[in-house]
Amino acid sequence: MNIIGYFQGIDPAACLVRDGELAAYIEEERLVRYKHAPGLFPVRAVEACLQQAGLTLADVDAFAYGWDVPRYTGGTMRAFYDRLNAQAPHDEGTRRWQNGTLSWFNEANVKERLRLALARHFGAPAPPTLCFFPHHASHAAAAFFLSPFDEALVCTIDGSGDSQCVTLWHGHGEALDLIHEIEIPHSLGWFYAALTEFLGFAAYDGEYKVMGLAAYGRENLAFRQALAKVVFPAENGFDYRVEPRYLHHGPHTFSGRFTDHLVELLGLPPRAPGALIEAVHEDLAFEAQRLLERNVLRLLRHFREATGLRHLCLGGGVALNIKMNSRLHRSGLFNDLFICPIPNDAGTAIGAALGVNRRLTSRRPAPLRHVYLGPAYDDAEVELQLQGCGLAYRRCDDIAEATAALLAQGKVVGWFQGAMEGGPRALGARSILADPRMVESRDRVNAAIKFREYWRPFCPSMTEEAVGRFTRDGTRAPFMILAFEASDEAHRQVPAVVHVDGTMRVQTVEEGTNPRFYRLLKAFERQTGVPVLLNTSFNVKGEAIVCSPRDALRTFWSTGLDALAIGNCLVEKPTTPLPLKPEEVIR
């Protein structure tokens, strides 16, 4: 059985679940080369998933979409919005948003978007079977069914999906039973998005910047007291509530995501995008992050005690918050965590497909071991591209050894190998790598290639055996979605990948799932004594991560990268500018 799951919104994506297993996944932005590709139908992603599996559209048994479309079409969501509006003062922006969702998720509109996209891209196929799966159930399915646990507490946290902002589930075997939900307007995702815009970054994009900035902030009692009026404990002692007058109900002079009441409450003008970052902004990020963590921890502590469940699966866009995840890890509340590696809405493509598959077959897939689920290119394709560009390159018997030698010399290398990874992190398939022993290499990556802000940390990839040596509290972490406390040796040996708060956002690399990247780390260890590399995504600021060899070559030549290890081929830039002979000077 072939099920295509898809998501259309910010970060549209598609996946293929084939005979119950996740066989392919890709975000549309990687193919259209347009960051986040907001609103596009992921038709190229659908095509790429089918191509990878050698299928055609005719082989697809069903499409799966991670929204509770019948609720929008049958009037339940309208009634839900009406109840909300009756409780709160009239708010035109919120009503416009509500009406927009009622139209966007209306069944006829959803079906027409799918039909049109497939007709335009593939010709005119018969309308496909389309199945719906509720949004938070999709987040939960992606988090639980891909986890290694037979039984777990499953928590999803996002801006909103259908009427929900948080859900808690008892996952057991092939079943997910809803235990608890928190509905609109009580959204931690919206709260964090509002603070993201308040601090001058784009919501649903710049949240990780706020998280990074929080590490530079200090405790600020005035902000803490103010924000406690925005998000606060509910009467039952474990839920939280969000006061809508600070985000929704009131004048929106600065942003649609927060009202002027919030500006007044904080006693600080919102930071304009690109304006100087001051200590107050760092402190505000610190307090917003603290508030998020405290509310999530209180909620999960309650359900840990109420259910006795010792494993936690986490999904939803807020689970991209590595700092919060690490706080959960350090809390010791659960024996083990599985954080969905693609927890944002793009991952609902996977969750919806797995949910529909479970509905049809009562099966769940094998635990997820890696996310190298995108397109791959063999050496013949790579060399064709290199030759087509007229580039000098050398074919290496051991690309890992040759790349390690360049990295040990302080070179910054583009690493393009095997099937592309899905999700927001580069995990050693489309990565920019550098020597983590020197902060200069970090600064060079920043200055010549990534143009990142000073407060954003670079992450280390290390062999799985090394995590105990370089962290104090590290565990297996193949998806770079947890941070651990850096050990003394890490501070001494790999300072370029230790964040200002003394943590490291680690990827542990396993020989079984990415043998070539593992061999590279081992080769680097043989040459330097350190099985760790600085790993950042293979893209420049504002662009999607590279997907094809052509994308990689373009980024390689348009940045300060020294070399490109692509398949078994190595391309190097000249180390010094070529001298011009007098007769070659253009007059």
* Residue 33 falls in which region: left (phi positive, over 0), alpha (psi -120 to 50) or beta: left
Binding part of the chain for Fe ion, among 161-169, 231-239, 497-505, 570-578 by CB under 5 A, reads 161-169
Q: 3-state SS of 306-338? A: HHCCCEEEEECHHHHCHHHHHHHHHHCCCCEEE
| Cβ nearer to Fe ion, comparing 161 with 185 | 161
Residue 296 makes CB contacts below 8 A (sequence gap 6+) with 157, 188, 318, 324, 328
Of residues 29 through 48, those in contact with Fe ion by CB under 5 A are none
Minimum Å distance from CB 161 to Fe ion?
4
Q: What is the rounded radius of gyration, in angstroms, for the C-alpha atoms of the chain?
A: 24
Q: Which is nearer to Fe ion, 110 or 566 (CB)?
A: 110
Which pair of structure tokens corresponds to residue 127?
A: 């309308």
Identify which of 133, 76, 120, 83 has the alpha carbon closest to the alpha carbon of residue 101: 76
Nearest to 233 by CA among 294, 180, 275: 294
Phi, psi dihedrals of residue 335, rounded to the nearest 5°: -70, -35
Which residues 346-385 are close enough to bind Fe ion by CB under 5 A?
Answer: none
The dihedral of CA 418, 419, 420, 426: what is its sign? negative
The backbone torsions φ and ψ at residue 319, rounded to the nearest 5 degrees and listed phi first, read -70, 0
User: Contacts with Fe ion: how many residues (CB under 5 A)?
Assistant: 3
Applying CB under 5 A, which part among 94-102, 159-167, 233-241, 520-528 lies near Fe ion?
Answer: 159-167
Q: Which residue has the tokens 């293979």?
A: 538
Residue 412 Cβ vs Fe ion, minimum distance, rounded to whole Å: 35
* 11 lies in the binding site for Fe ion (CB under 5 A): no
Q: Where does this chain touch Fe ion (CB under 5 A) — which range of 174-182, 194-202, 249-257, 344-352?
A: 344-352
Nearer to Fe ion, 5 or 161 (CB): 161
- Dist CA 428 CA 432 (whole Å): 8
Gap between the Cα atoms of 351 and 343, Å rounded: 10
Q: How far is the CB of 18 from Fe ion (least distance, A)?
A: 25
Contact between 345 and Fe ion per CB under 5 A:
yes
Shortest reach from residue 347's CB to Fe ion, in Å: 9
Q: Quote the CA–CA distance of 505 and 511 in Å, as a whole number.
A: 20
Nearer to Fe ion, 158 or 197 (CB): 158
Angle at CA 452, nearest 5°, toward 451 and 454? 125
- Are the CB atoms for 50 and 125 separated by under 8 Å? no
8 Å CB contact between 45 and 379: no
Taking CB positions, which residue lies at the least distance from Fe ion?
Answer: 158
Residue 428 near residue 507, CB atoms below 8 Å: yes
Q: Compute φ and ψ for 512, nearest 5 degrees.
A: -70, -25
Q: Report the residue number, 345 or 464, with the smaller CB distance to Fe ion.
A: 345
Q: What is each CA distance from 91 to 95, 241, 343, 512, 562, in whole angstroms?
A: 6, 19, 31, 54, 54
**Rounded-to-integer distance, Cα 181 and Cα 136, Å:** 10
Task: Determine contact, residues 430/552, Cβ cutoff 8 Å.
Answer: yes
Q: Which is nearer to Fe ion, 161 or 422 (CB)?
A: 161
What SS3 class is residue 181? strand
Stretch in the footprint of Fe ion (CB under 5 A) among 28-36, 150-158, 176-184, 488-496: 150-158
Closest CB 133 distance from Fe ion, rounded Å: 12
Instruction: Please identify, among the stretches 9-17, 345-353, 425-433, 508-516, the one whose residues bind Fe ion according to the rule CB under 5 A.
Output: 345-353
Stretch near Fe ion under the rule CB under 5 A, chosen from 82-90, 155-163, 179-187, 324-332:
155-163
Which residues 391-430 are close enough to bind Fe ion by CB under 5 A?
none
Least distance between Fe ion and beta carbon 314 (Å): 13
> Which lies closer to Fe ion via its Cβ, residue 136 or residue 516?
136
Contact stretch for Fe ion (CB under 5 A) within 190-198, 249-257, 338-346, 494-502: 338-346
Could you tell me the CA-to-CA distances from 271 to 185, 275, 282 in Å, in that order?
25, 6, 11
Which one of 158, 197, 287, 421 is in contact with Fe ion (CB under 5 A)? 158
- Cβ 14 to Fe ion, closest distance in Å? 16
Question: What's the rounded Cα separation, in Å, for the pair 319 and 491?
Answer: 27
Contact 206, 222 (CB under 8 A): no
Cα(232)–Cα(522) distance, rounded to whole angstroms?
49
Out of 5, 9, 66, 161, which residue is the one contacting Fe ion (CB under 5 A)?
A: 161
The distance of closest approach from Cβ of residue 317 to Fe ion in the complex, given in angstroms and rounded to an integer, is 5
What is the smallest separation between the CB atom of 135 and Fe ion, expressed in angstroms?
6
Torsions phi, psi of 303, nearest 5? -75, -25
Q: How far is the CB of 265 from Fe ion (least distance, A)?
A: 27
Give me the least distance between CB of 496 and Fe ion, in Å please.
Answer: 34
* C-beta of 2 vs 164, nearer to Fe ion: 164
Of 241-249, 271-279, 337-345, 459-467, the segment contacting Fe ion by CB under 5 A is 337-345
What do you get for the CA distance between the two ends of the chain, in Å? 67
User: What mask, x for binding Fe ion by CB under 5 A, covers residues 262 to 291?
Assistant: ------------------------------
* Piece in contact with Fe ion (CB under 5 A), picked from 123-131, 165-173, 241-249, 341-349: 341-349
Nearer Cβ to Fe ion (165/566): 165
CB of 387 to Fe ion, least distance (A): 44
Q: Among residues 158 and 435, whose Cβ is nearest to Fe ion?
A: 158
In the complex, what is the shortest distance from the CB of residue 4 to Fe ion, in angstroms, rounded to a whole number? 19
In terms of CB distance, is 161 or 428 closer to Fe ion?
161
The minimum distance between CB 9 and Fe ion, in angstroms, equals: 9
Span near Fe ion by CB under 5 A; candidates 151-159, 213-221, 285-293, 353-361: 151-159
Structure tokens at 521: 């780390």
Nearer to Fe ion, 155 or 563 (CB): 155
Binding site for Fe ion (CB under 5 A): 158, 161, 345
